[in-house]
Amino acid sequence: MKVALITGGAGFIGSHLSDLLFEKGYRIICMDNLITGNIENIKHLLKEKNFEFIKHNVTGYIKIKGKIDYVLHFASPASPADYLKFPIQTLKVGSLGTHNALGIAKAKDAKFLLASTSEVYGDPLVNPQPERYWGNVNPIGPRGVYDEAKRFAEAITMAYHRYHGLDTRIARIFNTYGPRMRKNDGRAIPNFICQALSGKPLTVYGKGRQTRSFCYISDLVGGIYKLLVSNEHSPVNIGNPNEMSLLSLVKIIISLTGSRSKIVHASLPIDDPKIRCPDISKAKRLLFWKPTVDIEEGVKETIAFFKSSLTG
């Protein structure tokens, strides 16, 4: 039985990844300090003999007995609300945390996968963003704590690959959504859905012309798995190239919730990207992967989750 250590395994993406690997017959060691993760996300797995939860902050030394075949490093605050609230912790988990996760992978001779992000591209001057694009990041802006933490994480991952010969992968994850997102997450889809279901005005920053591309969680973890079992060491974009404006997204959510909420506009956050869309030709070519869940289908599933969580 293959053993996978997932840091940040009680988070939104980490918990879905835990589900996927568990279903595929892996033994899962889930590590999370629960700063943004939620034990409820993995509650259904806690009773399983091949699932183990360890509450631990990965910025401290990671010590685990027994074999580990894969280390998947997903520990980090990931929404602007979180990394603006926890700027030092975000920098530490991207640097010290990645170093420690790489260290346990090296000690166990395990394959290592880094959860990087489209934020390494910053406010891009190229659209869509291919992996060869180096980005346009403000290192001293408020978003820089996340952008630069992930850019450093990529750099040290490649250093371990080149210097130590560690078998590494880097997934550049674009905007992802679905069940288990937190209602106070601060990202567009949970914000809009919760506002719509509560009858509150939907807050759009700026004129809403900025674009994003949204990948449903099942598509995302499917792409992560294909990357994990591939032989690709350089970064790979995993996301949905269906680009839309935030105003278009709001209208879809209002329609699907049947909400009578009005749209209100607020000032754009500092360094908020104007465009964001993955070039996934590399993932298609090397992983034979592309997303299949369209935005309306995925948003319906996400609305159902928030309806139950808001009334539960």
CATH level 3 topology of 178-212+242-276+292-311:
UDP-galactose 4-epimerase; domain 1 (3.90.25)
pLDDT value, residue 107: 98
Which pLDDT tens digit goes with each residue over 48-67? 999 999 999 999 999 999 99
Only one residue has tokens 């099942």, namely 218
pLDDT value, residue 311: 65
Contact 150, 120 (CB under 8 A): yes
User: Alpha-carbon distance 128 to 216, whole Å?
Assistant: 19
**Phi, then psi, of 278 in degrees rounded to 5:** -85, 140
User: Alpha-carbon distance 87 to 77, whole Å?
Assistant: 9
Exposed, middle or buried: residue 16 (CB in 10 Å: 0-12, 13-18, 19+)? buried
Contact 72, 78 (CB under 8 A): no
CATH superfamily name and code, 3-176+216-238: NAD(P)-binding Rossmann-like Domain (3.40.50.720)
pLDDT value, residue 53: 98
User: Alpha-carbon distance 75 to 254, whole Å?
Assistant: 33
| Domains 3-176+216-238 and 178-212+242-276+292-311 alike in fold | no
**Phi, then psi, of 180 in degrees rounded to 5:** 85, 0
- Low-confidence residues of the chain, pLDDT below 70? 311-312
Instruction: Look up the pTM and report it.
Output: 0.96
With CA atoms as reference, report the closest residue to 245 among 298, 207, 202. 207
The residues assigned a catalytic role are: 146
Query: How is the chain split into domains, by residue range?
Result: 3-176+216-238, 178-212+242-276+292-311
pLDDT value, residue 33: 98
pLDDT value, residue 244: 96
